[in-house]
A = this chain, B = another copy of it.
């Protein structure tokens, strides 16, 4: 029997996160430049320790003992060699799966949820508010806040709330409150409901509700949390790549290609940033971020200052963006339906340390089914984007006759997305590609903001 799984003992778990800002010579730091909110209001949205982490340029940041304690419920996550998939493809490439689906919530999201809950806790915060689309982030934060005894209020986009009742049930099991958005609980929600009583809701509306709730706590003990895009979120995810490097080193491997899907960018950053630093120092490794053709932020959108949310409550962020009013087509990969991209990930692509590719959902589901039939686990629709790219790269290796080593982030399982697979298998899946007209519209809108500095 060939050894498939490469594990680390808990003694070997990384004790520090890698902060890529230390190696990106952009000043002022990403994500704060052009901020129209001011530090005072920002401190009412996020706890000060996370704001400090957001702008820190320290290369290595200690992971607090209490965070390690919770992560150790499922970490280190295993790496598995995808022998069956390799065989099915007939490729000389070696494919390694970094498996983030083993967390309680089934994805990589708890890596930052746990850290954010901890920092809020020690800052004296009693309650967190957040939004969730498909539900991955909301359930991860529900698990994490429960671990630290914090209350959590999740605003879930109404259409997802109705379509995916299991996500709400999951949050409830972990003690969180899950409210369909727009709701009657906030001023903004009531305004929207009055104007559009039948609206399916949107992530933008949900963010506005969550931030409003955090700001209006009379005791000032509530803060808001975001599951992607921001620098500190990317930082917390780097444990993925740091573990992966150690695991591959154990079998004397180093990847030729590193692949992750990218919506806001956090699972991609988590795996790839620790390899990007090697590339900065001359190492030969290709890094790919994969996004849907329906929401081609990195591959087609301008690099500009834009807001993270529709209402413009977040700081202006220097990123690839389709414009904060952009509403992506309803692809099943809800986690990749985001108008922007993490500033750090955007910079990585701009300076050529990473490349971006976009794939339509038909190809991604085909890849996902092949993966499930060979390697067992059913992937999340988001993860299918990474798998589709892995297959493209493996087929390229076959054509070139090269024994390439491919590492990718299996960001989550699809057990709560099986309706999407049914849709695919019944032949009803639609392909969406963003038109050039729409891209141009985004460019026009974003022209009114200053051009951000590039890290080259």
Contact = CB atoms under 8 A, between A and B. Distances in A.
Contact of A9 (B7, B73, B425): B7
A4 B73 contact: yes
Given A1-B13, A166-B415, A173-B372, 5 more contacts: A106-B415, A166-B419, A168-B422, A169-B422, A172-B421
A3 B11 contact: yes
Nearest to A379: B173
A102 interface: yes
Nearest to A172: B425
Interface string A352-377: 00000000000000000100110111
B415 A416 contact: yes
A22 interface: no
Interface stretch (A64-72, A187-195, A342-350): A64-72
A378 B143 CA distance: 10
A362 to B, nearest CB: 16
Interface in A96-113: 102-104, 106
A373 B419 contact: no
B173 A421 contact: yes
B415 A174 contact: no
A147 B84 CA distance: 9
Interface of A: 1-5, 7, 9-11, 13, 65, 68-69, 72-74, 80, 84, 102-104, 106, 143, 146-147, 165-166, 168-170, 172-175, 369, 372-373, 375-378, 415-416, 418-419, 421-422, 425
Nearest to A5: B10
A94 to B, nearest CB: 16
A373 B150 CA distance: 12
A373 B174 contact: yes
Given A4-B73, A73-B375, A418 B169 contact: yes
A170 B377 CA distance: 10
The 7 closest A-B pairs by CB, nearest first: A104-B376, A169-B418, A166-B418, A169-B422, A1-B68, A4-B72, A73-B376
A369 to B, nearest CB: 6
Given A80-B73, A166-B418, A415-B166, A104 B377 contact: yes
A377 B146 CA distance: 12
Contacts of A375: 73, 104
A103 to B, nearest CB: 8
Contacts of A73: 4, 80, 84, 375-376
A48 B422 CA distance: 36
A5 B77 CA distance: 11
Contacts of A174: 372-373
Given A104-B376, A173-B372, A1 B166 contact: no
Contacts of A9: 3, 7
Contacts of A369: 173
A227 to B, nearest CB: 17
Contacts of A80: 73
Contacts of A74: 376
A353 to B, nearest CB: 32
Contact of A173 (B13, B175, B425): B425
Contacts of A169: 418-419, 421-422, 425
Contact of A104 (B166, B170, B172, B378): B378
Given A104-B378, A377-B104, A378-B173, A72 B1 contact: yes
Nearest to A416: B415
13 contacts: A2-B72, A4-B10, A7-B9, A73-B84, A73-B376, A147-B376, A165-B419, A169-B419, A169-B425, A172-B421, A172-B422, A173-B378, A173-B418
A5 B72 contact: yes
Contacts of A4: 10, 72-73
Contacts of A5: 10, 72
Kindly name the residue among A168, A169, A422 whose own CB sees the greatest number of chain B CB atoms within 10 A. A169
B170 A378 contact: yes
Given A5-B10, A68-B1, A418-B173, A102 B102 contact: yes
Contacts of A2: 69, 72
